[in-house]
């Protein structure tokens, strides 16, 4: 038989669950809509995830692990070195996912000036997203051909890693750099149909389970991060109050209506959990990175290869568009915090006296249990270079020591953090663990190598 002859099929199914808002735009405006970006819907008006979006994300992951495995599963990339000797069509079919439990919410954002940290004029925009909690059935088929027999071990290893990645969490859609599109695949089942066996062949056409049918199990402590990435999972305590203002109070009902009478309330997600959106966090971290570069006498343009072009330069067409490789997740605060009202007065900056009728009350959140995690930050750098890891470590150090403040009210001490513990992953494996204020000598030595790479980095090579 030829190498292209079909030997069987491998069918993967599971429940895809959104853990963060998803933005897959329709590429245009609905007539009469004032929203800048609307979500993609089918002709009946149902939100869905196209199979092409999933295929692109999964191919990118597998390609980072092993380009040959990616060619066997998704077809030959003509830019790969072995393209001339191995031209293959895609063996993987991924179906569109129709989503259930869909709630469409509006988000707004503003571009920040990297130097001042303030909003850029005319830089505000809004868009629709599918809120977290939506879910749908994931179905994929892999056509097994004779050519796959010689790479059977490679494919098996790749699929195990891919299954762990799907169960661990992956991103799709737009604005993934600020935490959008985080999804997990639950209850993964794998069915292998061997067409050399009559029973399996009959089972496939009768839509019955084959002889080899199993559920995929992933250990909680294991993570299948891409091998070319650097990942930080860090837990923090709140040193003071935290306020990320929610401009929309219309959703407040019942006891929450009392919050609607306040001048400022902390942002919540659709489940009522306090939220720090990825756009707020990413803006703060970018601003701090620019400060670090300036403090060391380096050109901030170095940052564009990591975090994408400066928004102001992009608007003025001074920088080409590029995708950020620095990804953050949205932050949802733990039960170790609670909200308290704080009443303050406005002060006349000229006289130093109070302004009449300028009393206002806000409702920030504060640390309730002083020894428990208030929030977790997740950063990920794809295709990480050593100097970029060094910069990320200096960024982590500043956050750890309370030198970075998130949210509003920074001038009155809001938003400062204190590091509790952190897990660092490099090349897909655990790399270092930090806990408490001090760092062990062995860990410090490993981390300092990357910091040295950053400090000695020449701008021309960035």
d(CA 20, CA 275): 11
Same domain, 28 and 92: yes
* 264-265 vs 354-363, strand pairing mode: parallel
d(CA 137, CA 17): 9
d(CA 212, CA 216): 12
Same domain, 60 and 138: yes
Same domain, 260 and 136: no
Neighbours of 453 (CB within 10 A): 16
Same domain, 122 and 64: yes
Of the candidates 152, 183, 215, which is a domain's last residue? 215
d(CA 462, CA 293): 13
Same domain, 146 and 270: no
Same domain, 296 and 440: yes
d(CA 318, CA 222): 43
pLDDT 10s per residue in the chain (462 long)? 577 788 899 999 999 999 999 988 875 555 445 555 678 888 888 899 999 999 999 998 998 888 889 988 998 876 666 555 667 888 999 999 999 999 888 776 665 555 555 556 655 667 788 989 999 999 999 998 888 888 888 988 999 889 889 998 899 998 888 889 999 999 999 999 999 899 999 998 988 888 888 887 776 667 888 888 999 999 999 998 999 887 655 554 444 445 556 778 888 887 888 999 888 899 899 999 999 999 999 988 889 889 988 766 666 666 677 788 999 999 999 999 998 888 877 777 777 676 776 777 888 999 998 889 999 999 999 999 999 999 999 999 999 999 999 998 888 889 999 999 999 999 888 999 998 777 777 778 889 999 999 999 875 444
Same domain, 345 and 427: yes
Of the candidates 215, 243, 275, which is a domain's last residue? 215
Q: For residue 222, is it within any domain?
A: no
Same domain, 112 and 234: no
Q: For residue 149, is it within any domain?
A: yes
Domain with 428, as residue range(s), is 230-461
Of the candidates 215, 239, 271, which is a domain's last residue? 215
Given a contact cutoff of 8 angstroms between Cβ atoms, the answer to whether 37 and 21 are in contact is no
Q: For residue 220, is it within any domain?
A: no
Given a contact cutoff of 8 angstroms between Cβ atoms, the answer to whether 267 and 277 are in contact is yes
Q: What is the pLDDT of residue 461?
A: 45
| β partners of residue 418 | 237
Per-residue burial over 88-110, b if 16 or more Cβ lie within 10 Å, else e, is: bebbbebeebebeebeeeebebe
Q: For residue 360, is it within any domain?
A: yes
Q: For residue 205, is it within any domain?
A: yes
**Predicted TM-score (pTM) of this structure:** 0.80
Q: What is the pLDDT of residue 254?
A: 44
Q: What is the pLDDT of residue 220?
A: 65
Same domain, 207 and 304: no
Same domain, 254 and 203: no
Domain count for the chain:
2
Q: What is the pLDDT of residue 120?
A: 60
Same domain, 289 and 427: yes
Q: What is the pLDDT of residue 460?
A: 47
Same domain, 161 and 284: no
């Amino acid at each position: 038989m030829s190498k292209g002859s079909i030997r069987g099929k491998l069918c993967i199914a599971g429940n895809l669950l959104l853990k963060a808002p998803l933005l897959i735009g329709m590429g245009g405006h609905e007539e009469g809509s004032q929203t800048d970006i609307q979500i993609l819907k089918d002709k009946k008006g149902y939100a869905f995830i196209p199979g092409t979006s999933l295929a692109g994300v999964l191919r990118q992951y597998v390609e980072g692990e092993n380009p040959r495995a990616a060619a066997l599963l998704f077809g030959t990339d003509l830019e790969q070195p072995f393209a001339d000797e191995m031209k293959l069509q895609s063996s993987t079919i991924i179906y569109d996912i129709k989503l259930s439990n869909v709630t469409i919410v509006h988000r707004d954002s503003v571009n920040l000036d990297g130097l001042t940290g303030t909003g850029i004029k005319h830089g505000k925009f809004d868009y629709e997203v599918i809120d977290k909690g939506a879910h749908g059935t994931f179905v994929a088929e892999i056509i097994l051909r004779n050519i796959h027999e010689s790479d059977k071990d490679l494919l098996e290893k790749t699929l195990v890693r891919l299954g762990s990645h799907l169960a661990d969490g992956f991103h799709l859609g737009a604005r993934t750099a600020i935490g959008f599109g985080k999804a997990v695949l639950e209850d993964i089942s794998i069915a292998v149909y061997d067409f050399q066996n009559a029973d399996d062949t009959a089972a496939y056409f009768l839509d019955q389970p084959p002889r080899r049918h199993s559920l995929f199990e992933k250990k909680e402590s294991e993570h299948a991060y891409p091998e070319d990435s650097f990942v930080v999972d860090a837990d923090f305590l709140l040193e003071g109050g935290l306020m990320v203002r929610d401009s929309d109070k219309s959703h407040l009902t019942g006891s929450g209506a009392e919050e609607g009478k306040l001048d400022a309330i902390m942002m919540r997600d659709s489940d009522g959990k306090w939220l720090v959106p990825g756009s707020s966090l990413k803006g703060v971290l970018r601003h701090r990175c620019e400060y670090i570069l300036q403090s060391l006498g380096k050109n901030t343009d170095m940052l564009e290869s990591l975090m994408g072009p400066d928004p102001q330069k992009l608007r003025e067409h001074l920088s080409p568009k590029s995708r950020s490789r620095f990804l953050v997740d949205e932050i949802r605060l733990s039960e170790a915090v609670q909200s308290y009202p704080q009443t303050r007065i406005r002060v006349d900056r000229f006289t130093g006296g109070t302004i009449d009728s300028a009393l206002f009350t806000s409702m920030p959140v504060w640390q309730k249990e002083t020894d428990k995690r208030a929030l977790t930050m997740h950063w990920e750098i794809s295709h990480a270079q050593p100097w970029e890891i060094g910069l990320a470590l200096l960024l982590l150090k500043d956050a750890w020591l309370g030198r970075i403040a998130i949210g509003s009210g920074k001038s009155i001490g809001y938003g400062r953090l204190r590091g509790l513990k952190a897990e660092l992953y490099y090349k897909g494996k655990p790399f270092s663990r930090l806990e408490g204020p001090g760092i062990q000598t062995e860990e410090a030595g490993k981390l300092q190598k990357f910091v040295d790479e950053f400090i000695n980095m020449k701008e021309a090579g960035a």
